Structure 1
Amino acid sequence: MTIKSPKLLLLLSMIVLFTLQAGTALAHKVNIFAYIEGVTVYTESYFPDGRAVEDGKITVVDSNEEALLEGRTNKEGLFSFAIPKKEDLVIILDAGMGHKTRFKLKKSTFGE
């Protein structure tokens, strides 16, 4: 098949380009969700397609970006830890190959 119309060729090229860019953008997306029960923080990490982040590196930092603890997600993408400080915390997930995200846990969610 030969495309003779320059406008049609341009349109098809743009569609391919936008499709490839969207795929690239989604390729580096990863999600982390965190919640507190008692004195323990529970995290769940997953890719947009629902697959768990297995062996993802978790780093918890304080408001000064000082590392408080590190760990790894399990096969189900889960990781938990005791609250290290009663202040705003940031949980950083590094799932490798450019897949990285952060979750801010406010001090106000810790309760008494």
Structure 2
Amino acid sequence: MVFCSAAMAHKVNLFAYAEGGKIFTESYFPDGRPVEGGKVLVFDGHNTKLLEGKTDDKGLFSFSIPKVDDLNIVIEASMGHKNNYKLKKAEVEAGK
């Protein structure tokens, strides 16, 4: 018998890093499946939306660094799965 909490049922993992002037993201479910076609939203440190895009079939999405600032990256996947990743300004600066 398998039990799953409501919080775990709607969990999605998101990882991001800056390198070579770009931000790279990877989104996946707890079972390891990639988030395909997930909506990625990027906000600056003042919660202003900078851009949005979609993950590919491997759960990946990358974009040019839009602004050297704290970035809040949000993934919205199917069935209410949602998470965010905060990339600090220093990390963004280092990835320029």
TM-score, with structure 2 as normaliser: 0.90
Determine the structure 1 residue equivalent to 2:77.
Answer: 95
* Identical aligned residues as a percent: 55
Unaligned runs of 5+ in 1: 1-15
Which structure is higher in helix share?
Answer: 1
Q: Give matches, 1:50-65, under 5 Å.
A: 50-65=32-47
Determine the structure 2 residue equivalent to 1:24.
Answer: 6
Instruction: Determine which structure has greater relative contact order: mean sequence separation of CA pairs < 8 Å that are 6+ residues apart, divided by chain length.
Output: 2
Distance in 2, Cα, partners of 1:60 & 1:23: 28
| Deviation at residue 63 of structure 1 after TM alignment | 1.2
Determine the structure 2 residue equivalent to 1:82.
Answer: 64
Equivalent residue pairs, number: 93
Letter in 2 for 1:32: L
Q: Give matches, 1:60-71, under 5 Å.
A: 60-71=42-53
| Deviation at residue 44 of structure 1 after TM alignment | 0.4
Rg larger in structure: 1
TM-score, with structure 1 as normaliser: 0.78
RMSD: 1.4
Unaligned runs of 5+ in 2: none
